[in-house]
Every structure is written in structure tokens, then in C-alpha cells.
Amino acid sequence: MKMVLYTSPYVPAEWIEAHGLEPCRVVPSSRDCVTPVLSGQGVCPFVRAFCAHVLSAQGACGIVMTTTCDQMRHAFDMVARKAKVPALLLNIPRTWQTVAARRMYGAELDRLSGFLIYLGGTRPTDEHLAQVMQTHDEARCREGPRAEAHPAARPIGHPAIPVALVGGPMRTEDLALFGLIRDHGGFVALDATEAGEAGRPRLFDRRRLGDEPFAELADAYFDGIADVSRRPNHGFYEWLGRLLKQRNTRGVVLHRYPWCDLWHAELERIRQCTGLPVLDLDAGGDDTPDYGRHRTRISAFMEMLR
């Protein structure tokens, strides 16, 4: 099966799979940056790793990027020039409360369909799309929260402190944060990163699957993803506040990349809206995270929460 690479949660895996192609959501690694394709100050390490990954990936037939991240949007021109396979930039409306914005997202999914057909896919029937959507929905229900949120992942021998991990996408190296938090007496009760629960659509309405599966797919993604880039983005804070209470979290770890104005600008609002202690964990500008610095700061933060 031909593989389509993407990373944004606004690219529905169900839509790609229903066209007969294999969706592959990329979690890049700094190890992909053997020959940096983007370098210099001001370039997000995640974007650099993603671009290096998709330019060197084997077995891919296409690449889909989105406009939700300014750095990713600017990097698309380079990827489109250098990639060995076709690339598409999907326009995601920043505003979301208007009929025009919802129609635009649906039109972009239609444009994505044309791209997938160009790659060798086939436009799905409503019945096939509904079947694929139901399969993905059931898988998300079985998966539940990230494994770190489960009691079995908590430290043994003393009470564990539940915290929320908030932020955008993460490289494979950044996933070490779950272990660092666990090693210092905490556990991630809520993974509110783009790669975690914040990047999931709402569950599909089974009553609409039989009648209008495409409309239900678009609505579940456009309305259901808790995205801080939305304008206004109060929906993200309502979602975050609700789950923070449900999971009894006592602190928030904000993981962000330098030069990401989006998450940097939200730091103070996260403090105000959650009313919880917040650790601002800057990932650093290098391709390799500074684990020693992270360990020291996480240790101090967890000690403060005790």
C-alpha cells in the first residue's frame, strides 16, 4: 500500500485510508537531520526534523503539510522543491465559528481527495468511508489516554503526583519527558500535546455515519480537536480545564520549542486559566534535547508540588 506522510492532526487518517492509501503520521527524530535541510537560528527543531524525515523517507508516495504552524507553512516551499514525491499544503482556517470556515475545511478535504486520487487512490463510497471511520473510532476508544496516564505507569513506593503535559507536536527524543516526570515522583495524567489527546477528533456520531459520513468526518475533526491555534481559542481552555479537574492534576508542564510564538504567547494565559503551577520547559534550539537541564528543572518542579 502506498504511504502518505503527514503530522498535523487536522489531516484525517480515515480519509487517506478510505482512498486505499496508507496514512503515516510522522513523529520525527533529530537523528533524521544527518544533513540538515533547514539550519540556522529561528528554525524550529521539530520542523527541521520533520522536513529531514519526509525528504529521506522510503516508500512514501506523497506528503501533506498544513498551515496551522507558520514555520511548517514556510517550510512547505522547500519540501515541495526537494521532495521526490508530490507534496500538498492543506489550508486550515484559523477562525472556526463561521459557516464559511467550516465550508472551507470541507473544501480542503475535497482538495485533499483530488491529491490522493492523483497519488493512485480512489474516491471512497459513503459505505466504505463509514466503515473505515467506525474502525478508527473503535481503535481510539480502546487506546484511551496515553499509557503514562494509567496507574500501572506511576512510580512505585510513594504517592505519585498527577501533572498535565501541554504543548505542540513532539519528536521521539521529547517523549523522554514522560520518563523524567515519572523518575521524579510524578506521572502524566493528561497528555494535552498535539501528539496526545489534544490532537484527537471527537468520537463520531454513529447516526450520521450511514447518511453523511464525509460531513461527519469534517465536523469531528474541525470541531473536535482542541487546538490552541484557533482564533478565538477558548475552546482549548474549556477542554483543558475540564480534563484537568477530571484527572485531579496538580501542575502543568508546558513543553515548547524556541521561536514558537504561538505557545510562548499562551504561557501566561495557561497560568491564569488553570490556576495551577506551570513549568515552562523550553526544548532548546539544538536538535538534541538538553536532558540534564530538563531533569534538573523537572526535579525542582515536582519537589515544589509535593
- Domain CATH for 79: 3.40.50.11890
Residues 59 and 195 in one domain: no
For 2, the grid coordinates are: 502506498
C-alpha pair distances (Å), 8 with each of 26, 185, 216, 221: 9, 32, 19, 11
Q: Mean of the per-residue pLDDT values for the chain?
A: 91
Domain co-membership, 214 together with 295: yes
| pLDDT above 70 as % of the chain | 93
- 17 or 226, which is more confident: 17
pLDDT in tens, 134-152: 999 999 998 877 545 444 4
What mean pLDDT comes out for the span 193-218? 95
In a domain, residue 138? The reply is no
Q: At what angle do helices 213-224 and 126-143 cross, to 10 degrees?
A: 40
What is the pairing mode between strands 161-167 and 87-90?
unpaired
Same domain, 102 and 82: yes
Instruction: Identify whether residues 171 and 283 lie together within a single domain.
Output: yes
Q: Are residues 86 and 194 in the same domain?
A: no
Q: Is residue 129 part of a domain?
A: yes
Q: For residues 281 and 87, what is the distance between their CA atoms, to the nearest angstrom? A: 33
- pLDDT category at 233 given cuts 50, 70, 90 is very high
Please tell me whether residues 162 and 75 are part of one structural domain: no
Evaluate if pTM is beyond 0.85: yes
The answer as to whether 180 is a domain residue is yes
CB atoms under 10 Å from CB of 120, counted, come to 13
Q: 236-249 pLDDT, tens per residue?
A: 999 999 999 999 99
Give me the phi and psi of 123, to 5 degrees please.
-60, 125
Considering the domain architecture, whether residues 81 and 25 belong to the same structural domain is answered as yes
In a domain, 125, yes or no: yes
Query: Are 216 and 128 found together in one domain?
Result: no
Mean pLDDT of 115-134: 98
| pLDDT tens-digit series, residues 39-73 | 666 788 999 999 999 999 999 999 999 999 999 99
**139 is a domain residue:** no
Residues 86 and 149 in one domain: no
pLDDT of 278 > 90? The answer is yes
284 and 164 fall within a common domain: yes
- With respect to residue 175, please indicate whether it lies within any of the assigned structural domains: yes
Residue 119 structural domain = 3-133
Residues 6 or more apart in contact with residue 275 via CB below 8 angstroms: none
Are 167 and 239 in the same domain? Answer: yes
Residues 159 and 197 in one domain: yes
Last residue within a domain, chosen from 87, 102, 133 = 133
User: Which of these three, 74, 105, 133, is where a domain ends?
Assistant: 133
Q: Which pLDDT value is given to residue 286?
A: 72
Query: Of 101, 133, 165, at which residue does a domain stop?
Result: 133
Q: Residue 152 maps to which CATH number?
A: 3.40.50.11900
Say whether pLDDT at 132 is over 90: yes
Q: Is residue 88 part of a domain?
A: yes
Q: Give me the pLDDT at residue 150, please.
A: 43
pLDDT mean over 285-302: 88
Q: How far apart are CA 2 and CA 19, in angstroms?
A: 11
pLDDT for position 272? 96
Total domains in the fold of the chain:
2
Does residue 277 lie in a domain region?
Answer: yes
Q: Name the residue with cell 505519585.
A: 160
| 3-state per-residue secondary structure call for the chain | CCEEEECCCCCCHHHHHHCCCEEEECCCCHHHCCCCCCCCCCCCHHHHHHHHHHHHCCCEEEEEEECCCHHHHHHHHHHHHHCCCCEEEECCCCCCCCHHHHHHHHHHHHHHHHHHHHCCCCCCCHHHHHHHHHHHHHHHHHHCCCHHHCHHHCCCCCCCEEEEEEECCCCCHHHHHHHHHHHCCEEEEEEEECCCHHHCCCCCCHHHHCCCHHHHHHHHHHHHCCCCCCCCCHHHHHHHHHHHHHCCCCEEEEEECCCCHHHHHHHHHHHHHHCCCEEEEECCCCCCCCHHHHHHHHHHHHHHHC
